[in-house]
Amino acid sequence: MSDERPWERAHEWAAPMAKEATGPLKGLRIVDFTRALAGPFCTMLLADLGADVIKVEPPEGDISRYSAPFTADDELHAFGGYFASINRNKRGVMLDLRDERAREQLRVLIDSADAVVENFRAGVMERLGLGYEVLAARNPRLVYAAIRGFGDPRTGVSPYVEWPSYDIVAQAMGGVASMTGTEDGQVLKAGPSVGDLFPGTVAAVGIVSAMLHAKTTGQGQFVDVGMYDAVVSLCEAIVYRYSYQGVVTKPQGNSHTQLNPFDIYPTADGYCAIAAPTPNHWAMLAALMDRPDLIHDPRTESNNDRVANAAFVRDVVTEWTRRHTTAEVVAVLAGTVPVGPVNDAAAIFADPHVRARDVLVAVEHPGSSRPVVLPNSPIHMTATPPGVYRRPPLLGEHNSELLGP
């Protein structure tokens, strides 16, 4: 492979897959009915932590299974990068839920499970005879989790309960888009799919907590996370600003309403982030910019002074950063003032931190001549380390193993 295509060699230095599950949830079984992003990300987190996650797919597969990208030599197309990224460490079964025999097979499987996770619209699982009450009557210690756009009626009936939702809807309604955007007020969604990923993360915390309760008491329960609800909690700043002073937060580019400097600044060849709102950090930044006069300047002496004179501070810092490359700015400030380059994917792959901390992991991919590289678990533990030990499943790969003939 050519060095001009570094992504094709990244598996050579990325962390290798583990031989088996070693995380703290090892021994727990989770039946996963989720699809798309929020739910599969939630169950991926649990699988990385060692849980035996059994992914249930219809005959046509998860809606994300066949989404691009594919590696250049993959002619099998068993799954693409979207599916691979959030379905590793899972075993997979394929069942047609319209068939009563298949539904009964699932009920039997769930009888010995610790948790069920689904992200259908409210009422779907009930119509299939797989709702919480039916399953809990058979398995009282079962934790049943639902991730829906606007929550489940069991915990509060939203006027939007029948609305389907996706990431961009959750970002819009939950507040992310209202505070993200350009300085002239154009609203923008966040780049990462936080309207899916954050609700999935919150749900994982809820599921682990409920499973702990079930382990100690024998009592299962229903866990409900609304995507809208979770994103509102993510946007905590706009809530308290409005509650305290009636301030409606608007897009402000890359700056911060309460901290300064706290921004992304242009350099001679790119951008870098600089944060120096504390007295010590501001004094050090001013000195390193060769502007010690600003340490006690009444316009910039305190953080509140700098917030009140934000345009002046930005001009001063930008005038300095523009005279240097990103690498030069980082070299001057690193270890003294909080600073970091704006990394794209290529820069992340090249960063020595990523290699030192095993931030990326090489995962086997059917149909590809090389492993693909995915984000590793960011959770580090000394006794029960999470990790990636199993590639994503082929459609129905574990039917006979889990369901029998």
Residues 6 or more apart whose CB falls under 8 angstroms from that of 336 comprise: 284, 288
Residue 368 and residue 105: Cα distance in Å, rounded? Answer: 33
Q: Name the fold adopted by 271-341.
A: formyl-coa transferase, domain 3 (3.30.1540)
- pLDDT for 405 equals 75
Q: What is the pLDDT of residues 114-152, one digit of tens each?
A: 999 999 999 999 999 999 999 999 999 999 999 999 999
- Report yes or no: 53 and 91 within 8 Å, Cβ to Cβ: yes
Residue extent(s) of CATH 3.30.1540.10 domains in the chain? 271-341
Q: The dihedral of CA 48, 49, 54, 57: what is its sign?
A: negative
The topology (CATH level 3) of 6-236+359-403 is Rossmann fold (3.40.50)
Q: Which of 32, 114, 196, 263 is catalytic?
A: 196
Q: What pTM did the predictor assign?
A: 0.95
The yes-or-no verdict on residue 228 having pLDDT over 90 is: yes
- Would you state the pLDDT for residue 130? 97
114 counts as catalytic: no
Helical spans, DSSP H, in 49-120: 81-86, 100-111
**pLDDT for position 4:** 75
Which of 84, 120, 59 lies closest to 395 in space, CA to CA?
A: 59
CATH 3.40.50.10540 in the chain is located at: 6-236+359-403
Query: What CA–CA distance (Å, rounded) separates 230 from 387?
Result: 26
Residue 224 buriedness (CB in 10 A; 0-12 / 13-18 / 19+): buried
Where residue 252 falls among pLDDT bands split at 50, 70, 90?
confident
- The encoded tokens of residue 153 equal 């009626």
